Structure 1
Amino acid sequence: MTLAEEFKSRNFSIYGQWTGVLCIFLCFALGIANIFHFNLLIIFSVICLVCAFIIIFIEIPLLLRICPTSQGFDSFIRRFETNYMRAAIYAIMSVIQWISISVAASSLIAAAVMLLVAALFYLAAGIKGQAFQGSKTLGGQGVAQMII
């Protein structure tokens, strides 16, 4: 299945996964950009950076095969294999970034919005009863097995 065919499939988990990939770049960039504040916003920017690395392993399953990670980390990441669990983790990450507004309005709001959009895509997939379908482009369904 090509990338265009994946988007035409109308499976919200594909949309959520690609929105998650955008969140990786956004969280990483905004985490770095906001880390230079000299107030409590530093905490939220570090959390945003950590979220970026967690999302990398959630959305790109191929990395769990090729990166040396601990058994505990692998089991933590494998908890997020269903649409509802992914919606929950993205919603939690979004809420944390929304709370950063209480410290100061910053560009972390963009990360909060995109994380919320990803959560809504996964929630929509869960509500519609669509099975999680990982993008083959990102190392899902078959690509990770070819590595071994």
Structure 2
Amino acid sequence: MTLAEEFKTRNFSIYGQWSGVLCMFLCFGLGIGNLFFRPVVIIIFSALCLASSFIILFVEVPLLLRICPTSAKFDTFIRRFTTNYMRAAIYLVMSIVQWLSLLKEPTGLIAAAVLLLLTAIFYSLAGLKHQEFIGSKTLGGQGVAQMIV
């Protein structure tokens, strides 16, 4: 199945997965970009945004759990997020954390908060519509990880 065919399935979990990938890049860039020359509170939120990007990487690209040396505890934590509702929950929590950064001062972290919230909405819609989670083949889903082992 090509990427265009995946989007044509109208499965919100595919939309969530790809917007999650965008979140990963955005959180990484904003996390690094806001680490310097800011108040300490914003630096903490930037570090949390940067950490979120790595969590998203392992949640959305399951192939990496097989090829990257990680601890069993981390693997167990990441494997909790296999359903649409659990993924919506983690994205919602990461979004709330970034929204809280606005209490100190408005920064570019609001873009991460908005996109994380959008991703949580996509996964929630997939759950509410009773759509099964479908991982994109491009990102290592649907048998690609099993073919490597």
> Which bin holds the TM-score, normalised by the shorter protein?
over 0.9
* Aligned residue type for 2:97: I
1:18 aligns with 2:18: yes
- What is the deviation of 1:136? 0.4
List gaps (5 residues or longer) in structure 1: none
Residues 21-60 of structure 1 aligned to structure 2 (within 5 Å): 21-39=21-39, 40-60=41-61
Aligned to 2:89: 88
* Aligned residue type for 2:114: V
Q: TM-score, normalization: structure 2?
A: 0.98
Aligned to 2:111: 110
- What is the deviation of 1:124? 0.1
What does the per-residue CA deviation read over 1:56-102, in whole Å, with 9 as the maximum and x for residues that have no partner?
Answer: 00000000000000000000000000000000000000000000000
What does the per-residue CA deviation read over 1:102-145, in whole Å, with 9 as the maximum and x for residues that have no partner?
Answer: 01100000000000000000000000000100000000011100
- What is the deviation of 1:37? 3.1
List gaps (5 residues or longer) in structure 2: none
Alignment size in residue pairs: 148
Residues 135-146 of structure 1 aligned to structure 2 (within 5 Å): 135-146=136-147
Q: TM-score, normalization: structure 1?
A: 0.99
Aligned to 2:78: 77
CA–CA distance in 1 between the matches of 2:3 and 2:71? Answer: 32
What does the per-residue CA deviation read over 1:13-32, in whole Å, with 9 as the maximum and x for residues that have no partner?
Answer: 00000000000000000000
Aligned to 1:68: 69
CA–CA distance in 2 between the matches of 1:67 and 1:123? Answer: 29
What is the RMSD of the two structures over their aligned residues, measured on CA atoms?
0.5
- What is the deviation of 1:38? 3.2
Aligned to 2:127: 126
CA–CA distance in 2 between the matches of 1:107 and 1:37? Answer: 14
**Percentage of identical aligned residues:** 69
